[in-house]
Amino acid sequence: MNNYFSLKRFRQLFIKHTVEHYRTYLMSASVLAGVFLLGGMFIFYMIQGPMDAGFQTALFAMLMVIAGPIFTSTIFTDFGDKRKAIPALTLPASQLEKFLVSWIYSYVIFLLVFTGIFYLVLSILLNLKQWPGHHPEMLYIFQDKFCVLLLIFSLLQAITMYGAIRFEKLHFIKIGFSFFIFYALLILVNTIFLRVLVGRQIFPATPFAFLNFPDGTNYYSIGLNAQQSAWAFIVLPVVVLLFWIAAYFKLKEKQA
């Protein structure tokens, strides 16, 4: 068992990784906070009304699914640099321990830091400008719709993590290009399948989304019921887990 995971060895590896990269992570967090603050101030003074919770949620979701993959794509940069690859791969630690350190930083710690910075900047912005007769409201992340956001983030993080190990250079560009090509093919195949299934012309459709089709001058949209939609919440976590497993074995392959 110690060949796969040792708590003492994992703790030492985590500390080593933190000491070596904390300056980069602090700088990244500072840049993120600066972008949030400057961008938020611009948006805040451009809108003609108070920033409600719905608008805050949209910003939170959009920034998370952009910043998360960008950060994750850098987590394995040492393996793309020949000078750093050999020391990183030959560290006296198992592949599982190395994978877990990177996963914790790119998933758990990123979510905590991102959420903390967003709330800090949001609280500053909400106090910069007061609207008469309006009590400032702040988004609350502990609700059902944020489970969907977390699921989407997990999928993007898992795909990016695999790509960060798979590609040696230009990680984010190659991952993004591969993702959009795959997504376009997925929509194409799904649309052709549904077109054959229903026997009529339909608009491009993504899996588990609405089926939209014209009928004369009218347009119709068919969605999944609650029971059918629940399958998406079963399938997607499985896909996320498979990508994490694939990323682990890809890392293991590099060290072999």
Q: What is the pLDDT of residue 92?
A: 67
- Rounded Cα gap, residues 153 and 107, in angstroms: 9
Local structure of 90: helix, strand or coil = coil
Q: What is the pLDDT of residue 1?
A: 47
Q: Residue-wise over 204-224: b if at least 16 C-beta within 10 A, else e?
A: ebeeeeebebeeeeeeeeeee
Q: What is the pLDDT of residue 27?
A: 93
Cβ(85)–Cβ(78) below 8 Å: yes
Cβ(75)–Cβ(171) below 8 Å: no
Rounded (5°) CA angle 197-198-204: 90
Q: What is the pLDDT of residue 159?
A: 92
Per-residue pLDDT tens digits of the chain, which is 256 residues long: 466 778 888 888 898 889 888 899 999 999 999 999 888 888 877 777 677 778 888 889 999 999 999 999 888 776 655 555 555 555 667 788 889 999 999 999 999 999 999 999 988 888 877 766 667 778 888 887 788 899 999 999 999 999 888 877 776 788 888 888 888 898 888 888 878 877 777 878 777 777 777 777 777 777 766 676 777 778 889 999 999 999 999 888 876 6
The model's pTM: 0.82
Scanning the structure block, which residue is given the tokens 């809108």?
47
Q: What is the pLDDT of residue 255?
A: 66
Domain ranges of the chain: 7-188
Residue 179 CB-density burial (10 A; 0-12 exposed, 13-18 middle, 19+ buried) = middle
Q: What is the pLDDT of residue 2?
A: 63
Q: What is the pLDDT of residues 122-139, one digit of tens each?
A: 888 888 777 666 677 788
